């Protein structure tokens, strides 16, 4: 089968690999769509994990083989995969910190080599410990929608970390595909959203996706402008890996507000801040990483009912052999690009 193999930093090669062989507790899935995710881009660009690997974890496809001991799935089922499933039993799981669970950190979907998602290949093997995360895609929905479950899950998980009440106001920094999902999901929950981005077309989209106001983060005195319209912000969600944006957000929110970091996944960042804002003003600086598999049903309902219609987010699709071009576009978005997906 064809697969795009990571051979080192910024080195992806189209290679021929054997179709994965499955064991009795596993599924073989023919990949139809796999989203390009910023976390994979970072691994590929900075070479943070040893090669070789086949990345791609936002995967949807069709089951072509079912292991003898697997129940509940049939050949022909259209499914969305979940590559991480927590044990639900360890210290972290008992504290709902699933992304820190050792079992969760194991990747259970692979096209070969060290498991890394495998969605940039024709077929993937789904291991027993992630079967619980496999979701069937309803007839009327597309593989592209199925491939969006994972990113939507990460956003919903983060939203649930915020103690916001209806009518509260939240600042969403960055209106890429993730930021727009935050804007929409918060709006659906009755939260007023103030959006910022550097790209004017994304500001227009933010308004379409429910934001009350959208401000260009590149203009001077942006903080001032936002403050004059929204003097009170109850939360800020930073969906871009900008340290300055975190400090701005810390300054802009009111006492007792939460500032949630969603994109600071690269180690080594630092910032100096007035710590009394945390002690005296009780502002909480929190983060959210990856998904929560216990939300998968709610996520599937949100996406497949199209209450959160993810289809307009997918602006570009690329065939498998052009995966490197897909990753380049996703890492340097054009004014009209949002979510980039590899399709087969
Ligand atoms: Zn992802
Ligand atoms: Zn656990």
The tokens for 238 are 């930073």
How far, in Å, from the CA of 302 to the mean position of ligand 1?
Answer: 17
pLDDT tens across 253-288, in order?
A: 999 999 999 999 888 888 899 999 999 999 999 999
- Residue 70, number of CB atoms within 10 A of its CB: 20
Q: What is the structure's pLDDT at 63?
A: 98
Which ligand has its closest atom nearest to the C-alpha of 97?
Answer: 2
How far, in Å, from the CA of 12 to the mean position of ligand 1?
Answer: 18
The tokens for 34 are 């796999």
Which ligand has its closest atom nearest to the C-alpha of 37?
Answer: 1
Give the separation between CA 255 and CA 74, rounded to whole angstroms: 53
Sorted by where each starts, the structural domains of the chain and their CATH numbers stand as: 2-151+291-343 (3.90.180.10), 162-287 (3.40.50.720)
pLDDT tens across 241-252, in order?
A: 999 999 999 999
Q: What is the structure's pLDDT at 268?
A: 87
Q: Residue 148 — very low, low, confident or very high, per pLDDT cuts 50/70/90?
A: very high
Cis-peptide into 52, omega within 30 deg = yes
* pLDDT higher than threshold 90 for residue 293: no
Quote the percentage of the chain above a pLDDT of 90: 94
How far, in Å, from the CA of 58 to the mean position of ligand 1?
Answer: 6
* Residue 115 near residue 54 (C-beta atoms within 8 A): no
Q: What is the structure's pLDDT at 269?
A: 83
Closest CA to 84 of 18, 144, 143, 134: 134
Quote the percentage of the chain above a pLDDT of 70: 100
At a CB cut-off of 8 Å and minimum separation 6, what does 35 contact? 56, 58, 119, 147, 148, 150, 151, 339, 340, 341, 342
* Residue 245 near residue 273 (C-beta atoms within 8 A): no
Q: What is the structure's pLDDT at 33?
A: 98
Which ligand has its closest atom nearest to the C-alpha of 90?
Answer: 2
By three-state DSSP, how is residue 194 classified?
A: strand
The tokens for 177 are 């595909």
pTM more than 0.85: yes
pLDDT tens across 99-137, in order?
A: 999 999 999 999 999 999 999 999 999 999 999 999 999
**Region for residue 72 given its phi and psi (left: phi exceeds 0; alpha: psi -120 to 50; beta: otherwise):** left
Which ligand has its closest atom nearest to the C-alpha of 294?
Answer: 2
Query: Average of pLDDT values for 303-311?
Result: 98
Q: Can you say how many angstroms the Cα of residue 184 is from the centroid of all Cα atoms in its chain?
A: 15
- Element at 286 (helix H, strand E): strand 284-287
Give the separation between CA 37 and CA 60, rounded to whole angstroms: 14
Which ligand has its closest atom nearest to the C-alpha of 129?
Answer: 2
pLDDT tens across 184-218, in order?
A: 999 999 999 999 999 999 999 999 999 999 999 99
334 or 141, higher pLDDT: 141
In whole numbers, what is the pLDDT of the chain averaged over residues? Answer: 96
Q: What is the structure's pLDDT at 220?
A: 85
């Amino acid at each position: 089968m064809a697969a795009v193999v990571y051979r080192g930093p910024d080195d992806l090669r189209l290679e021929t690999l054997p179709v994965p062989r499955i064991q009795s507790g596993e599924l073989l899935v023919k990949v139809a769509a796999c989203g390009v995710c910023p976390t994979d881009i970072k691994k590929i660009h900075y070479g943070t994990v040893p090669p070789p690997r086949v990345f791609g974890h936002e995967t949807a496809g069709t089951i072509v083989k079912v292991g003898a001991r697997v129940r509940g799935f049939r050949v022909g089922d259209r499914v969305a995969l979940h590559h991480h499933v927590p044990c639900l039993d360890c210290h972290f799981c008992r504290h709902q910190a699933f992304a820190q669970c050792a079992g969760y950190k194991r990747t259970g979907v692979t096209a070969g080599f060290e498991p890394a998602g495998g969605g940039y290949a024709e077929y993937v093997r789904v291991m027993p410990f992630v079967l619980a995360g496999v979701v069937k895609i309803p007839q009327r929905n597309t593989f592209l929608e199925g491939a969006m479950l994972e990113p939507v899950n990460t956003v919903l998980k983060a939203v649930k970390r915020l103690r916001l009440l209806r009518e509260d106001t939240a600042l969403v920094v960055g209106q890429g595909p993730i930021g727009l999902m935050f804007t929409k999901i918060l709006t659906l929950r009755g939260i007023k959203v103030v959006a910022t981005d550097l790209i004017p077309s994304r500001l227009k989209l933010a308004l379409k996706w429910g934001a009350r106001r959208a401000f260009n983060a590149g203009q001077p005195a942006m903080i001032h402008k936002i403050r004059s319209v929204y003097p009170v912000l109850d939360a800020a969600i930073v969906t871009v890996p900008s340290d300055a944006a975190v400090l701005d957000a810390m300054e802009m929110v009111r006492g007792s507000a939460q500032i949630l970091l969603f994109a600071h996944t690269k180690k080594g960042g630092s910032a100096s801040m007035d710590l009394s804002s945390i002690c005296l003003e009780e502002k909480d600086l929190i983060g959210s990483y990856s998904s929560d598999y216990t939300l998968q049903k709610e996520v599937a309902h949100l996406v497949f009912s199209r209450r959160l219609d993810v289809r307009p987010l997918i602006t570009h699709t690329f065939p498998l052999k052009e995966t490197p071009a897909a990753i380049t576009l996703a890492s340097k978005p054009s004014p009209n690009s949002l979510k980039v997906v590899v399709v087969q």
